[in-house]
Structures are given as C-alpha cells and as structure tokens.
Amino acid sequence: MNVMLRKALAGMLIGVLASTPALAAPAKGISDNVVKIGVLTDMSGVYSAIGGKGTLTAVEMAVADFGGTVLGKPIQVVSADHQNKADIASTKAREWFDTGKVDMVTGLLNSACALAVQKIGADKKRITMNTGAGSTDLTNKDCTPYGIHYAYDNYALANVAGSAIVSHGGKSWYFITADYAFGHSLEKNTSNFVQKLGGKVVGSVRHPLSTADFSSYLLQAQSSGAKVIGLANAGGDFTNAVKQAREFGIVQKGQTIAGMLVFDTDVKSLGLNTAQGMQFASGFYWDRDKASRDWSKRFYAKHKAMPTMDQAGAYSATMNYLKAIKAAGTDDPDAVMAKLRSMNISDFFAVNGKIRADGRMVHDMYLMEVKKPSESKGEWDILKIIKTVPGDQAFMPLSESVCSQVKK
C-alpha cells in the first residue's frame, strides 16, 4: 500500500471518528434533515366529508403559508387513508414512524384509530395532534406525553350542547349511539351532564358504524317516549338518522332530535329545511369573525367547500407545530412539546388557546344553531353562534382528569 493511500485512509478514519459524537447526540437541529407531517384520516368512508382530502388540503396550506421550510430544512406532507380501522391506522403509523421519517401525525378522525395511533406515537416518541376524534380517553386514561387533543372533545360537546338542551326542558333522553369508542364516550359524557342537571336517560341502542337504515333504532327511540333523542354518532350516520327521523314524523310528534357532534358538511347535506333550529356545539365556524372568514375563503377556493372544525383545526395545529419547532430550534419531540405547552394559541381557529399537561388544547367553544332557510343569505350561510363558552368552562377541568401526566 503506498503512502498516499495510507494517509488518505487515516484521514478518512479520523474524519469518521470525529463526526460520530455529533451523529449520536443530535440535541439540536432537524432530525433526518426534513420535517415530515403525516395526515392520517378517513379519506373515503363515512367521515371523509368531515376530514378526508380537506384535512390534507388544510395541512398543505399551513406548510405553504409557513414558507415550506423550517430552520432551513424542507417540510413535507404525506397522507394515508385509515379506512376507519384501528389496525390499518396502527400499521400505517408504525411504518411512518419507523421508516418514513414522519415527525408528527395529525387528523386522526375516528376515536378507535386515534387511540391506537396516539399510543404508538408515545412508544416511538412522536407527536400526535388529533383534530378529528372525540373520545375523552385521549386526555384521560390513555393520555401520553406526546399526544395533543386539538379541536374539540366529547366532554365539551356534551357540556355545551347537552346542558343547553336540558335547560330548555329536554329532561328525558334516549340515545342512538355509534357502537365504538367514540359513540360510547359521547353517550357517557352526555348522560353525565343530563343526570347532573336533573334529567334522566331512559335507554339507548347501539348501531354499527356506517349504517344506511336507522328506522329500526328510531322506532325504538320513539316508543321509549323520551323527550330528546340524542344521536351519539357523526357524519353520514348522523345525517341518515336525522333524515329518516323526519320521514317517520318523529319531530312532528314532539320529540327533539339532538345531534351531539355535527359538522358544517352534515348540515349542508341535510339541507336547512330539515336541519333548521337544531342546536349543537362546535369548536369552529367559518363565519365567526374576519380572520376565520378570510382563511375559510382561501380554503374554499382550493377545496370547494367551507372548512369543518377538523379541517380548520388541522391547519392551526400544523402551523403551531411548525412555529414551536422554529422557536425551539429543533424538531426534538420533547423540546417541541415543551414549547407548544408554553405557547398561547390564538389564530383564526382558536381563541384563548392553551395546551394543558393532559394534552388537551383548551379554547373557546360555541353553541351553534342551524339557520332557518329564510335567514340564510348564501350557500354556506347555515349556522349562527348563539353562545360562546370560554375554554376553561367548556372543557373538563384538569382536576377531574385521570391522566397520569397531570401532577396532583
């Protein structure tokens, strides 16, 4: 071996040795030289109008608005359809975290999928920012140091809407509930509020996710004699149930239909004639103020529909995640989580927002009412805000949370 070659080899060896410590402890900077955001949601099924491609569009808008890079590294967005199946969601999340360099997952509409992915995120030390699912378990018994529940939860929905309905005389309830984690949690939360306010729950029936015909369940609800029929389901299930309740004359005979989780797209699908007067809780409405209107119009130009709470939430979550990376100077999950918790979240989506120790993003919630056809001035002029409920009154108090991250 000649001297030149030996010297060159030695030089390379030294170079490798010298750079090793830096590789072993990337305390600062961006891991893998890219910040990758995964949008995992229902792209084709019963919830895809609520989340679906709209959520992906919102996240892409956030990345573009942020400038496409953070700390000099590119930001990439990937997406997948979890088909409302927890096992598919888990497999995809594992693949993203293990080999796909994904740093944060958002969307996660469907509680069964959300609970599974949040747990995997915690095992792999990756952040999950849930904008779609409702189960309160996400910030209670299944809470994690890396899981953020962003847009709304079942407790707040039940608190804001359930209380309003009970105080207007809806004292006896019968539930038609989607038979999985989300529906169970929503029914339980709403029942608690109904009972706390002196009402009673006379019964409930559970239906499989994505049911076309609700007439059997509706007849059971009708014969229960309850004043209020609470629909603890969402999306296509909710709209089918409401339509068919009308067909069987349930509302005309004096029973109230209460949707516990209603999105703008559902109201649009029902039409104002059918949905008018219905009250429900939401964390976002596009026509709330100038900021929300401006953003929503930009979204509309791309998506041809106004944003739902899930879609607007995904934009806000992504934006604040990127801001936190910039402020922390790294995409290290612990540092970013610490930044996110210390930030005030105030934008077109959230008013007075704050991420708590249990992962709950607390912000103002709204009691909404569907407009009468005569009040509506445009295609998407469908709701009005009746009451604004400050975040600390709308969401479960930290003292009631059973999350292990909360120090008591």
Partner 1 sequence: MDVTFQTVMSQLMLGLNNGAFYAVLSLGLAVIFGLLNIINFAHGALYMLGAFVALLGYTELGPLLGMPEFHLNYWAALIVAPLVVGGIGIILERTMLRRLYRVDHLYGLLLTFGVALIFQGIFTNYFNVSGTPYDGKPELLNGVVNLGFMMFPTYRLWSIVVSLTICFGTWFMIERTRLGSYLRAGTENPHLVQAFGINVPLMVTLTYGYGVGLAAFAGVVAAPIYSVSPVMGAEMIITVFAVVVIGGMGSIMGAIVTGLALGMVEGLTKVIYPPASSTVIFFMMVLVLLVKPAGLFGKEQ
Q: Which of 235, 283, 333, 391 binds partner 1 (CB under 8 A)?
A: 235
Tell me which residue of 219, 189, 187, 225 sits closest to 204, measured CA to CA.
187
Nearest CB to partner 1, comparing residues 99 and 273? 273
Identity of the residue, 135 or 269, whose beta carbon is nearer to partner 1 in the bound complex = 269
244 interacts with partner 1 by CB under 8 A: yes
Residue 140 or residue 240: which is nearer to partner 1 going by CB?
A: 240
What Å distances lie between residue 16 and 31, 88, 275, CA to CA? 19, 41, 67
Phi–psi pair at 251, nearest 5 degrees: -70, -40
Assign 159 to helix, strand or coil. Answer: helix
Angle, helices 111-123 vs 86-98, to 10°: value is: 30
65 binds partner 1 (CB under 8 A): no
- Spatial strand order of the sheet with 365-370 comes to 279-282, 365-370, 383-389
Q: Are 157 and 191 in contact (CB under 8 A)?
A: no
Cα 222-371-315 angle, rounded to 5 deg? 100
Stretch near partner 1 under the rule CB under 8 A, chosen from 117-125, 236-244, 320-328, 333-341: 236-244
Binding mask 159-198 for partner 1 (x = CB under 8 A): --------------------x-------------------
Query: Under the criterion CB under 8 A, does residue 269 sit at the interface with partner 1?
Result: yes
- Host H or E run for residue 279: strand 279-282
Between residues 247 and 375, which has the closer beta carbon with respect to partner 1? 247
Q: For partner 1, which residue of 192, 220, 376, 405 counts as binding (CB under 8 A)?
A: 220
**Cβ atoms of 310 and 131 closer than 8 Å:** yes
Residue 215 is a binding residue for partner 1 (CB under 8 A): yes
For partner 1, give the closer residue by CB, 13 or 219. Answer: 219
Nearest to 127 by CA among 371, 388, 340, 377: 340
Q: Is 208 in the site for partner 1 (CB under 8 A)?
A: yes
- What's the min distance (Å) between Cβ of 249 and partner 1? 6
Complex with partner 1: residue 269 or 401, whichever CB lies closer: 269
Query: Among residues 244 and 318, whose Cβ is nearest to partner 1?
Result: 244
Q: How far apart are CA 37 and CA 169, in angstroms?
A: 46
Q: Which residues bind partner 1 (CB under 8 A)?
A: 44-46, 48-50, 52, 179, 203, 205-208, 210-213, 215-217, 219-220, 223-224, 235-236, 238-240, 243-244, 247-249, 265-266, 268-271, 274, 305
